[in-house]
C-alpha cells in the first residue's frame, strides 16, 4: 500500500449511518470525504439515516446501501448473514450492555426480578426486530426467567432518554449501553444504584451464538464497587455487499487505515476510555471482523505495509 489508490471512473456511493448526529454518521462522513477526494469529478456520495441494527443489514440486502454500519459487532455471528454480505472492517467502541437497578429493590441478579411482586418498570429500547439493544435486553430477561409480559417498559430508540428516565425515578431498572457517556455518570445522582449480573445461564446462551461477555471494571460507573461481568456491546462493523467493486472496497479500507487520524482527532478531547470511538485505531484490530472481509478489503489490510498515515487533518 505504498501508492495512494485512486478510482478511474465516477462512482455513486450510498452510506447508511445513524439518526444523523452520532458516531455512525460521523464515520460515514469521514469515509465519504476521503473516498471522494480520491474519486473523479462527477462522483456522488449520500448518507442515509438509519438505526444501526437489523435495518442496516436489510438495506445492504435490498441494494439500498453500498456501505452500512451495524452495532454491536458481537451480535452479527448470531444472525444468518448470507454469503452476499461481507465486512470492510471494525471501528472500535468499548461498550457493554449493563443492568442497573434502584438499590432499594431486593434483588442481586437479573433472575431475581422475577420474584418481585407488582409492576416493575424497565427503561430500555424496544424489541422490534431492528433495535439490537432491545433485542438483547428482552432475550436476556427471558433466558433469566423474567417474563417481559409481567414488566412495564419505558422505551426509546436511543440510549439517553431511558438513562434519563431511570435517573429521574421513572423506571426501576435500566438496561442499556453507551456506558462511556456522561449520562451514565449521573444515574446515581438522585438515588443509590446497584448493578446486576446477567447470570451464567444468560451469558452462556449468548456465548453459544457467538456473543461473548465482557467486564466493566470497578469504579467505571458510579456506585460500581466490584468488577461486573456482562454482555459485550462493543464496536461498529462496516458492512457491504460482496458485489461492491474491488477497487472501491480496497480504497475504502485504504482510507480507513491511512486517514484514520482524521477520525481520531475528532475525539481527542475525550479520554480514550471514555470516548465513543476508542482511539487510537489499530488496523490489525479493525481487520478482525465478525463476518468475512470483502476479498479486496483483506488485500488492503495485508498491503498496509509500514502503516504510515496520509492526508490533511481538518480537526485539530
- Residue range 242-263: mean pLDDT, rounded: 97
Q: Please check whether the two domains, 12-93+235-302 and 96-232, share a CATH topology.
A: yes
Residue 316 has a pLDDT of: 53
Q: What is the pTM of this model?
A: 0.95
Percentage of the chain beyond pLDDT 90 is 91
Q: What angle do CA 206, 211, 215 make, to 5 degrees?
A: 95
Cell numbers for 202: 444468560
d(CA 145, CA 132): 20
How many other β-carbons are positioned within 10 Å of the β-carbon of residue 284?
9
> What per-residue confidence (pLDDT) applies to 308?
64
| Mean pLDDT of the 195-221 span | 98
Cα(266)–Cα(221) distance, rounded to whole angstroms? Answer: 24
Phi/psi of residue 85, nearest 5 degrees: -125, 145
Has residue 93 got a pLDDT over 90? Answer: yes
Mean predicted confidence (pLDDT) in 48-70: 97
Residues 36-48: what's their mean pLDDT?
98
Reported confidence tier of residue 311, pLDDT bands at 50, 70, 90: low
Would you place residue 309 in the very low, low, confident or very high pLDDT band (cuts 50, 70, 90)? low
pLDDT at 72: 98
Phi-psi bin for 223: left (phi > 0), alpha (psi -120 to 50), beta? left
**Residue 310 — pLDDT band, cuts 50, 70, 90?**
low
* The predicted structure's pLDDT at residue 88: 98
What does the domain layout of the chain look like in residue ranges?
A: 12-93+235-302, 96-232
Residue 136 has pLDDT above 80, yes or no: yes
Given a contact cutoff of 8 angstroms between Cβ atoms, the answer to whether 128 and 217 are in contact is: no
Residues 77 and 210: their CA atoms lie apart, in Å, by 5
Which superfamily, per CATH, for 12-93+235-302? Periplasmic binding protein-like II (3.40.190.10)
* pLDDT tens digits along 162-193: 999 999 999 999 999 999 999 999 999 988 99
Answer whether residue 134 shows pLDDT above 60.
yes
Cell numbers given for 25: 454518521
Q: Is the pLDDT of residue 305 over 90?
A: no
> Is the pLDDT score of 26 beyond 90?
yes
Q: For 96-232, which CATH superfamily applies?
A: Periplasmic binding protein-like II (3.40.190.10)
Confidence of residue 2 (pLDDT cuts 50, 70, 90): low
Q: For residue range 218-249, what is the model confidence (pLDDT) as tens digits?
A: 999 999 999 999 999 999 999 999 999 999 99
Amino acid at each position: 500500500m505504498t501508492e495512494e489508490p485512486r478510482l478511474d471512473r465516477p462512482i455513486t456511493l450510498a452510506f447508511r449511518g445513524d439518526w444523523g448526529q452520532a458516531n455512525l454518521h460521523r464515520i460515514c462522513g469521514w469515509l465519504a470525504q476521503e473516498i471522494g477526494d480520491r474519486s473523479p469529478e462527477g462522483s456522488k456520495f449520500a448518507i442515509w439515516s438509519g438505526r444501526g441494527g437489523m435495518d442496516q443489514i436489510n438495506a445492504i440486502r435490498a441494494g439500498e446501501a453500498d456501505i452500512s454500519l451495524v452495532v454491536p459487532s458481537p451480535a452479527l455471528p448470531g444472525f444468518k448473514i448470507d454469503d452476499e454480505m461481507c465486512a470492510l472492517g471494525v471501528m472500535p467502541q468499548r461498550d457493554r450492555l449493563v443492568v442497573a437497578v434502584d438499590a432499594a429493590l431486593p434483588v442481586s441478579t437479573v433472575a431475581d426480578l422475577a420474584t418481585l411482586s407488582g409492576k416493575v418498570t424497565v427503561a430500555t429500547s424496544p424489541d422490534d426486530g431492528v433495535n439490537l439493544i432491545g433485542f438483547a435486553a428482552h432475550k436476556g430477561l427471558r433466558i433469566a426467567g423474567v417474563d417481559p409480559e409481567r414488566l412495564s417498559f419505558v422505551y426509546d430508540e436511543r440510549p439517553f432518554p431511558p438513562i434519563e428516565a431511570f435517573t429521574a425515578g421513572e423506571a426501576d431498572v435500566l438496561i442499556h449501553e453507551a456506558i462511556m457517556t456522561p449520562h451514565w455518570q449521573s444515574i446515581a445522582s438522585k438515588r443509590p444504584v446497584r448493578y446486576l449480573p446477567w447470570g451464567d445461564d444468560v451469558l452462556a446462551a449468548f456465548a453459544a451464538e457467538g456473543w461473548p461477555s465482557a467486564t466493566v471494571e470497578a469504579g467505571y460507573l458510579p456506585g460500581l464497587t466490584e468488577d461486573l461481568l456482562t454482555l459485550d456491546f462493543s464496536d461498529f462493523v462496516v458492512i457491504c455487499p460482496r458485489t461492491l467493486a474491488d477497487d472501491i472496497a480496497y480504497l475504502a479500507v485504504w482510507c480507513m487505515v491511512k486517514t484514520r487520524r482524521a477520525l481520531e482527532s475528532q475525539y481527542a478531547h475525550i479520554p480514550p476510555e471514555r470516548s465513543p470511538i476508542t482511539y487510537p485505531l489499530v488496523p490489525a484490530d479493525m481487520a478482525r471482523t465478525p463476518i468475512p472481509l470483502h476479498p479486496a478489503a483483506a488485500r488492503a489490510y495485508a498491503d498496509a505495509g509500514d502503516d504510515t498515515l496520509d492526508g490533511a487533518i481538518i480537526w485539530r
